[in-house]
Chain A
Amino acid sequence: MSALFTNYRWLGAKLIVAVLLSLALLFLFRESKAVGYIESLGPDITEVVDLVLGIPSAIGDRGLQFIESKAELRERITELESENIVLSARGQRLEALLAENRRYRALLNSSIASDPDLTVARIISVSPDIQRHLVTVDRGDAHGIHEGDVVINALGVMGQVVNSGRFASQVLLISDASHGLPVLNNRTGLRGVVEGTGRLDRLVIRNLASTADIVEGDLLVTSGLGGRFVSGYPVATVTETRVSGDAAYLTVWADPLADLDLESHVLILHGEHDEPQPPQVDKLVDLQ
């Protein structure tokens, strides 16, 4: 019965207030601290939902652990141990190379940014908004992750943290149409900004000079300009170059190296980022 006699006197007023509040949140208070705080709850809510979704599989895993025989477990341990030995050996080789690299840089008298800290994170969800390439990872402020931290995987750069909650963070992928990343051509040193296209398998560099030396197969790496992304990480390979109709500009298409839709674990670089280096004019003069 209640629906027939529901009081709708304030319906119009409520609509106006709600519309004004929505617009105010969107355009007036978007940069305010309060809205920033509420937005930082987003990743944590997503993690709670992920925990709920993970309950059935967790129960299944427990069941499997009981079923799995001791022999199988021993076999797995042996496999993992041998894998560990191989990886440790590779790690030692890498350490040696890093040390060698530091010595060369010292010889060249160039400053070097200290190695950033690495945190392994798991992708727990993908944004339901089909227009955005945004994923949530299970690491947040509590793990030392902050807005602006760079996210990579074994193959290359994946994106950057744009919103860090207490226990989870949102990462904007380099393929998002609103993302831009300063890169340089590893072969020629040519600089540019690679932008997302909204497609996971395609990035673009617009408005390069038509005479720019860049060809199919060139590797694009982070340039470190802007001080956010550490320099030298692979980003994409060039797949196509196209000169504009009036031959003034060149558009370059590239494939991201990281499998943006397949990865489940990522590495987050935090700590020190490369700062833009002031040009060392006196050294250049010396060389001349």
Chain B
Amino acid sequence: MNEDSGYGLPIVSLVLAITLFQWIAGGFSSYWAPRLIELTLLHWVLWHPERFGIVWAFGIGILINLLEGSPLGSASLGLVVAAYFLTAYQETARQLDPVLQSLMVFVLLAIAAATESVLQALAGIPTAGLSYLLGVGASALLWKPLSELLLLLTRRSA
């Protein structure tokens, strides 16, 4: 399951996720927009933890802050925590059935989003309550199809 595909496919998938996310979320009614960048990162952390982990989560968090125009560091912290749990418990996480795995992704993304929201509030930026959970829910629904697609592409490119 863990075929070696180098860094090519993961980086291409992350660039595509960034582009798609910017396109989907680039409207003012984007509460339901799935967190594609975080989802793609979590996939690579789960299936290639030897290459993608906390350092990548930190870097992607900074990139998300730059795209959102939010203070640097606010997205990184939550993502780093999510990446830590996923790396530490990756063997268990991989064996979960699709529903439980999606639920796990929901919890991890909710932790990341809640941390970002709290940190932004502490930095003086007003927050919009728990509305970020809608996007997190949409992301959890998208987790299995996206993960399966990336696994298929990994196998093809190996």
List residues of A whose CB falls within 8 A of some B CB: 1-3, 6, 8, 11, 14-15, 18-19, 21-27, 30, 35, 38-39, 41-42, 45-46, 49-50, 52-53, 125-134, 136, 162-163, 170, 176-178, 198, 200, 261
Contacts and interface: CB of A to CB of B under 8 A. Distances in A.
A26 B73 contact: yes
Contacts of B55: 14, 18
Choose among B58, B69, B77, B124 the residue with the greatest number of A CB atoms under 10 Å from its CB. Answer: B69
Contact of B120 (A35, A131, A134): A131
Contacts of B123: 26-27, 30
A177 to B, nearest CB: 4
A23 B53 CA distance: 19
Contact of B73 (A22, A52, A163, A261): A22
Given A26-B71, A128-B33, A45 B54 contact: no
Contact of B128 (A14, A19, A24, A130): A130
A220 B25 CA distance: 32
Interface residues of B, number: 58
A53 B125 contact: no
Contacts of A15: 54, 80-81, 84
Given A130-B135, A178-B124, A19 B69 contact: no
B128 A198 contact: yes
B72 A131 contact: no
Given A19-B77, A24-B73, A127-B69, A53 B28 contact: no
A84 B49 CA distance: 61
Contacts of B72: 25-26, 30, 35, 38-39
B76 A134 contact: no
A23 B57 CA distance: 15
A216 to B, nearest CB: 26
Contacts of B128: 130-131, 198
A130 B19 contact: no
Contacts of A128: 21-22, 25-26, 30, 33, 67-68
B80 A22 contact: yes
B34 to A, nearest CB: 11
Given A22-B58, A49-B22, A126-B26, A132 B69 contact: yes
Interface string B5-24: 00000000000001101110
Contact of A11 (B47, B88, B117): B88
21 contacts: A3-B2, A3-B50, A3-B90, A11-B84, A15-B81, A18-B54, A18-B58, A18-B80, A19-B81, A21-B58, A23-B77, A26-B72, A46-B22, A53-B19, A126-B26, A128-B26, A129-B68, A130-B131, A131-B127, A132-B68, A134-B68
Interface of B: 2, 4, 18-19, 21-23, 25-28, 30-31, 33, 47-50, 53-55, 57-58, 61-63, 65-74, 76-77, 80-81, 84, 87-88, 90-91, 117, 119-120, 122-128, 131-132, 135
Nearest to B72: A25
Contact of B80 (A19, A49, A129, A162): A19
Contact of B61 (A14, A22, A129): A22
B26 to A, nearest CB: 5
A41 B69 CA distance: 10
Contacts of A53: 19, 22-23
A1 B80 CA distance: 25
Contacts of A170: 69
B26 A125 contact: yes
A176 B28 CA distance: 12
Given A19-B80, A49-B18, A198-B126, 13 more contacts: A3-B50, A11-B54, A14-B55, A18-B77, A21-B58, A22-B80, A23-B77, A26-B72, A38-B72, A128-B21, A128-B33, A132-B69, A170-B69
A197 to B, nearest CB: 9
Contacts of A23: 73, 77
Given A18-B55, A178-B124, A8 B88 contact: yes
Contacts of A129: 68-70
